[in-house]
Structure 1
């Protein structure tokens, strides 16, 4: 099985150059690689422990869940199974095999352990509902981060109805407790600034990334966080930022007008990821690599993202004042 994962890594490396210029083609390729790897992991576990003891769904979260992965990506995934607690050991074994397989193929292990090998992210439907309830009841910075990570999810293999059921449960809880919307805003409101008051870039000033801009935190997050907030408000199940833009098109025409900027950002980010050699490098852009035109474009995309988030924040706060 190790050889099969190694073959997958080489296949991924060989094909990457042909798909890396287009963010949508690239993410379809990521899906294909991950799907094949997970199926091979399942074959391995079935050869040792037999067929799965219950129906399940394997799902992606984070950038993978949103169909927004770059050239390099780490792992964010989970498992939901329709069975009792006695099934968890089997699915944890599967989760560990998936994590090992994806790591060998070229997707780094998640630093935060947001993987199906972790019992927190590998549970029965009942266990998941209880955990979501606990996260939203506690409503701490950490618990809402966990929930937001889960909410940006989509099934890749298995029964997608399980994930839909959990999002139903989430929407029910949130709309019964509208004060949670303000907590969600607080959770994502501290956006790292990329531009100073005089219009100058604010790059990292220490360590290996000195002189570089963290495009993920300064530019990408405002778009992603804004559309997630509206998805929670409007009970939108789809996880990708572009799909969320489409769903709110008629509800919030002004918000929808920011969609072209996000598409522009996807291509801009991907263009400057081409020379990245690791997941650690992929979120940073050196100012030395940017032409005058590039810098102007990046500042524009940053400002539009912050405008979008500010407008979204007003919508959520105005709605809360009426509830």
Structure 2
């Protein structure tokens, strides 16, 4: 006769990890031996120090809270809802319980027999790994470095460098041809011809590399008549030399060529210019190793003359991102490469716009990138957030100068829109005269935001405090940054109000750990990962780093890593925050790539149980961080 109860248990188990990866025969055996436990609200299933049960448990319906003990005010360790596994200690450690399980509401629980389950773990390695991870997450300090790495690591634990072409050591040209800095240019040209090479390493009297001379240098400097072929090589060489270690990976080499805007890297024994050169690495070596490279796209960006060319390159960058992402290249490497390419597109857009202006800029200026671009966190294509600051001018010249930069900004924003970056819905772009101002105007603006904090001012502060110079004069930006930090000195109310604003972000989870979704509008029933998870982490990192007066670190994960240095007592916790930030960005990017959108709104029914579990671990970190912010900046009385 058919066992209908066992069939129902089987149908339920197969939907949730780790039971979803167990073969049918073994899962049927488990289902036939499961016990069903009904718990009234407040009923204790097991207590701290109780002798181990013969089963571990899975929530079928309702909710079970795990606490330190039975007391009403005891610390809550976890809340388990449908599909969550708990009570694993007897299976993993074979000793007494170290927490208490209480039904937070009427609940139905399946008891999985340990003696039936253990043989399955022995032959199904992944099943055991999942249960150990679940057990660890409910017992260990979630802010320890090891725990954070387990949950927020950038790549799978079983990933090996030989499995990924991009992580292999790149091949380069060995036994490079060198020339003395005092040798004549004509000798260098003859040597390049004799050895059939396109570049030479220039060395000093100790044979240490100090520069490079290439066939391009001869075309631009000697053939054009700018320099005589009789000048010393040091007069036409490129310097300083870019040196790197010999075991450079393909991706590291790619990033180095992009960052240094160079077609050549000199390989030395220890990676510095204090040891002799042992090889040369070129863009050609990258192309041979990988084909369509980031450095190749960078060159294409610099050659582009029209927005449509940049748009095509941006689409290629999106494909490059997808390739990197689904090969599990470490996130920090992906982020650096994509940021450099995005930055280059913005710079080229500004250069094209300047070429269309009737005259050169009347005074010094700088283009500021804001938001996720300013934080170097923009992987997917989003809308524009930018501003422009120009040098102070006499009052009689102000209107004409302002008009020039407003027109320039409008052209840049229009080009970027054609490339694929949408206009900001709130018009927080440099084309808006409010965000195209002189240095003194910007100083006054920031001072107003800091000293007269209103709701709208806090919103602007959260965006504009993350500015990053993309193009233009460094000194203008440095002076602006200095004035901001000076204005925040001895201003505790500013940090309190900023903290209050950060704490008003919508919560990601309800009391029973269910994901809170949008209740109405276009995104009804979807989970907003930006507003409910990424923004709280970003906002609180900004507040903490500003309170420490740390300049020039805008990236959220890097801010938490810096905080770990500044506050050793909270090191593990801040590292967990850093890993959480990376994990959430990675999660959003993954879903954005799958659905060809910004990845902001998530369909919960598409998430696996493992994905939900990992997201909830990130949310726990956010919850603890909010408590720190409340206490440190005395926000409690204002909420």
CA offset at residue 3 of structure 1?
8.1
Q: Does 1:134 align with 2:444?
A: no
SS at match of 1:176: coil
Is the 1:222–1:308 Cα contact (8 Å) retained in structure 2? no
Q: Residues 16-31 of structure 1 correspond to what in structure 2 (within 5 A)?
A: 16-20=318-322, 21=325, 22-31=334-343
Measure the CA separation in 1 of the matches of 2:364 and 2:595.
39
Is the 1:135–1:143 Cα contact (8 Å) retained in structure 2? yes
CA offset at residue 296 of structure 1?
0.9
CA offset at residue 269 of structure 1?
1.8
Unaligned runs of 5+ in 1: 319-323
Equivalent pairs counted in the alignment come to 312
Is the 1:245–1:256 Cα contact (8 Å) retained in structure 2? yes
CA offset at residue 42 of structure 1?
1.9
Is the 1:191–1:217 Cα contact (8 Å) retained in structure 2? yes
User: Residue 574 of structure 2 aligns with which residue?
Assistant: 256
* Closer, same or farther: CA 18–78 of 1 in aligned 2, 3 Å: same
* Closer, same or farther: CA 278–263 of 1 in aligned 2, 3 Å: closer
Q: Which of 317, 320, 329 is the matching residue for 1:15?
A: 317
Q: Which has the higher helix share?
A: 1
Measure the CA separation in 1 of the matches of 2:502 and 2:580.
20
User: Residue 112 of structure 1 aligns with which residue?
Assistant: 426
Measure the CA separation in 2 of the matches of 1:272 and 1:130.
41
User: Residue 610 of structure 2 aligns with which residue?
Assistant: 293
CA offset at residue 6 of structure 1?
1.7
Q: Residues 70-89 of structure 1 correspond to what in structure 2 (within 5 A)?
A: 70-84=379-393, 85-86=398-399, 87-89=401-403
Q: Residues 170-209 of structure 1 correspond to what in structure 2 (within 5 A)?
A: 170-209=484-523
TM-score by length of 1: 0.90
Q: Residues 1-323 of structure 1 correspond to what in structure 2 (within 5 A)?
A: 4-20=306-322, 21=325, 22-45=334-357, 49-84=358-393, 85-86=398-399, 87-237=401-551, 238-253=553-568, 254=570, 255-257=573-575, 258-279=577-598, 282-317=599-634
Is the 1:128–1:166 Cα contact (8 Å) retained in structure 2? yes
Is the 2:410–2:430 Cα contact (8 Å) retained in structure 1? yes
SS at match of 2:428: coil
Q: Which has the higher contact order (CA 8 A, sep 6+)?
A: 1
CA offset at residue 268 of structure 1?
1.7
Which string of whole-angstrom CA distances, capped at 9 and with x for unpartnered residues, describes residues 109-128 of structure 1?
01111111011111111111
Measure the CA separation in 1 of the matches of 2:316 and 2:531.
30
* Closer, same or farther: CA 210–3 of 1 in aligned 2, 3 Å: farther
TM-score by length of 2: 0.47
Measure the CA separation in 2 of the matches of 1:41 and 1:304.
44
Measure the CA separation in 1 of the matches of 2:427 and 2:372.
15
Which string of whole-angstrom CA distances, capped at 9 and with x for unpartnered residues, describes residues 81-117 of structure 1?
1132241111111110111111111111011111110
Measure the CA separation in 2 of the matches of 1:291 and 1:24.
29
SS at match of 1:52: coil
Measure the CA separation in 2 of the matches of 1:218 and 1:311.
18
| CA root-mean-square deviation | 1.9
Which string of whole-angstrom CA distances, capped at 9 and with x for unpartnered residues, describes residues 65-92 of structure 1?
0011131211010111113224111111
Q: Which has the higher strand share?
A: 2
